[in-house]
Chain A
Amino acid sequence: MRLALTALLVLVAVAFADPALAQRRARDPKLPPPGPAPRSATTGRVLLGGATPADKGVWTPMFGITEPIAPYDTVPFQPWAKALYDARQKSELEPHTRCKPSGTARQFLTPYGVEFVELPELERIFIFDIGGPHTFRTIYMDGRSHPRDLQPSYYGHSIGWWEGDTLVVDSVGFNESFWLDRRGLPHTTQLHTIERFTRTNAETIEYTIEIRDPGAYTAAFTGGFALGWDKGTELFEYVCQQANYASELMVGGARKSVDRSSPIVP
């Protein structure tokens, strides 16, 4: 009976993971457990992509795209931020829906996946998104500091370094035009994030994010989720702007069209 219960728990945990992984497990229950994380032949450090050019895959949220960053009853909201968060539960007017880029954790919370592209010779790592407006984020690995007087942007300015097998990314310079996660955590231009990516095996990256934003929260807090390796999927073209009717559909019947003066900016 204990064996059956264990099998149940494993099955449910696997099946609630990303759909592709769950479907593969369902088709082939004899799939072996994940192997160790691949490592660079030259540095010995864990790789965030495939071990070889033939080893293809992207990273998707392991436990679903509505995964919260942290339990919301533990988030130290300022009153206005809590009110905005509550309003977003009803309105659902997320900029991402209208093809705006989404920085920090929200970048990973799409059903399509991301690829980490490490270019040691350029001392940069790029994170290529599939979901959203087909864009990418740059992480500078060359030891530079954040510039002063940054123009606020969707992805902010990211600098990174390795701590053992963990990639640490420090980011500032965000605009306020995106949600931190799909549920609608707000932020201000004072947002400062510290993200950690630890590939614990071939199929898993443990992702944590420390959120420091004295404009929206009374204290710093940390959350995160797991990313799963969607083996065999390669970056593909997903241009959200191709035929997106969300703006029109979000506008009530009284308004015939949307423009830059609309409550819902296209």
Chain B
Amino acid sequence: MSTTRKLLALLAGGALALAGNAWAHHSFSAEFDADKPIKISGIVTKVDWTNPHVWIYLNVKDENGAVANWGAELGPPHGLQRSGWQRDTLKIGEQVTVNGFLARNGSNRMNARTVTLASTGARPGATLDAASSVGQEAPAGGDAPKQ
């Protein structure tokens, strides 16, 4: 591949990634803390395929064996569908790991960046883009991205 072609491919990929920010969460920093990344693993207990954002809920076991239910906000259904998701992509009882950022209000809530399926199962180890805004860099102007 020539240098020009490589550059073209790189720019196209980068531009598409930025275009994907259009699905970003509204008022992200009002609800979630970009300085508090979090990773949780657990069993899917519920999938709310609803507007304005899809939420999934997991039972997460801590180091003492206590189970707590967590909610993770994903992108809107329309955006997730364009990323290849379906409303039944995640199954109840499935083991997943969610990467994202913690809610500011102290609850067991987070905004998801990716959802990774367990290493065993029908789709071992697949990582799905949660189509949300978490982890976005602020644009050059310094304004935090919204929705």
Residues of A within 8 A of B (CB): 4, 7-8, 11-12, 15-20, 22-23, 26, 60-61, 64-66, 89, 91-94, 96-97, 99, 110-112, 182-183, 236-240, 242-246, 248-253
Contact = CB atoms under 8 A, between A and B. Distances in A.
Contacts, number: 138
Residues of B in contact with A, size category: 35 or more
Nearest to B146: A182
B50 to A, nearest CB: 4
9 contacts: A4-B4, A11-B8, A15-B15, A19-B20, A64-B21, A66-B143, A92-B27, A111-B79, A245-B55
A97 B29 CA distance: 12
B8 A91 contact: no
B28 interface: yes
A19 B7 contact: no
B16 A23 contact: yes
Given A7-B8, A94-B26, A111-B147, A249 B31 contact: yes
B109 interface: yes
B27 A253 contact: no
A182 B147 contact: yes
B19 A18 contact: yes
Contact of A238 (B19, B78, B143, B144): B78
Given A22-B16, A253-B105, A243 B51 contact: yes
Contacts of B31: 246, 249-250
